[in-house]
Amino acid sequence: MDIIGKGLRFPEGPVWCDDGSVLVVEMFGERITRMKPDGSTSVVAEVPGGPNGLAECADGSLLVCNNGGSFTPIDLGGLLLPGPFDPARHTGGRIERVDPKTGKITRLYDSCDGHALRGPNDLVLDGKGGFYFTDHGIRHERSGDRTSIYYAKLDGSSIREVVFPVEAPNGIGLSPDGTKLYYAETHTARVWVREIVSPGEVKPVTPFDTHHLLWASPKLVYLDSLAVDGDGNVCVATIGTAGGITVISPDGNVVRFVESGDVMTTNVCFGGPGLRTAYITRSGVGDVAVVPWACAGLALHR
């Protein structure tokens, strides 16, 4: 693999751009950074709080999941980890739109039906004027938030709760045909699938339904963000002693595991010619791995 963007402060939310550059948020750098094909980096915008997820819209603006600083950075001799919640650092979870030309930040959402967003984490646009996003929530010393999967309009006009409750949801993505919504839970190490019946609405399930559980790890790992490739596989970033990307088929079988060399592997996106290249955020060591992929990636809605 090739390595780009060395020295980043916990990169997340990679987005491949048409000019060949890759955007990431730096959660502990509190900014959006662009990595160019020649390896150079530049700051696109300063984003106070905890920028955690990123997407590019059709008009060129950037959509950010901001957890508001719900993690405290811990430096273990060159390995950066997200540490315990410090209420003095938290400025509130929110969804923001960033103008990459001016750096202007517009807050779109910070609550839903009277419930404050706690730690928005990852998002995916649906190509129908809206996007789904996860709220990872906050873990306290003796308690933790019960959070949701949300659907919101890009223009800031409406937000609704799609799935509740979920346990520390993280990565989120859509099937190639747009009929299935996938999301990963960090601490349970499970990937769930729900059938979409209309934008922002999924088919109800009963408490003991099992068909909406796509995959559960048999090992002690944690799951982070995910992307769906062109074959419909769910490629979920896996945190553990062997960090990397677990590739899960649409029928729930592990196709392969792509090791990244960093225990804190947090995200993946596809780009390059034919979308045959994976860009994997190695957040612990602070860079991005560039890896040839076994199939074409899935072009994301903007």
Question: What pLDDT digit, counting tens, does each position of 19-46 carry?
Answer: 999 999 999 999 999 999 887 999 999 9
- Greatest distance between any 2 Cα atoms in the chain: 52
Query: What pLDDT sits at residue 67?
Result: 98
Q: Which tokens hold the place of 272?
A: 């390059």
Report the candidate in 214, 139, 231, 114 with the shortest Cα–Cα distance to residue 171.
214
N-term to C-term CA, the chain: 28
Range 48-74 average pLDDT: 97
Question: How many other CB atoms are there within 10 angstroms of residue 28's CB atom?
Answer: 22
Query: What pLDDT sits at residue 214?
Result: 98
Residue 26 is which amino acid? E
**199-231 pLDDT tens trace:** 999 999 988 888 899 999 999 999 999 999 999
Query: What pLDDT sits at residue 130?
Result: 98
Show Cβ contacts of residue 62 under 8 Å, excluding neighbours closer than 6 positions.
15, 23, 32, 44, 45, 54, 55, 56, 97, 98, 99, 100
CA separation for the pair 172, 245 (Å, rounded): 14
Contact in structure between 151 and 134 (CB atoms under 8 Å): no
- 115 alpha-carbon distance from chain centroid: 22
For 88-108, letters b (16+ CB in 10 Å) and e give eebebbbbbbbebeeeebeeb
**116-159 pLDDT tens trace:** 999 999 999 999 999 999 999 999 989 999 999 999 999 999 99
Contact in structure between 135 and 144 (CB atoms under 8 Å): no
Which is higher by pLDDT, 78 or 8?
A: 8
Phi, psi dihedrals of residue 274, rounded to the nearest 5°: 70, 10
**247-301 pLDDT tens trace:** 999 999 999 999 999 999 999 999 999 999 999 999 999 999 999 999 999 999 9
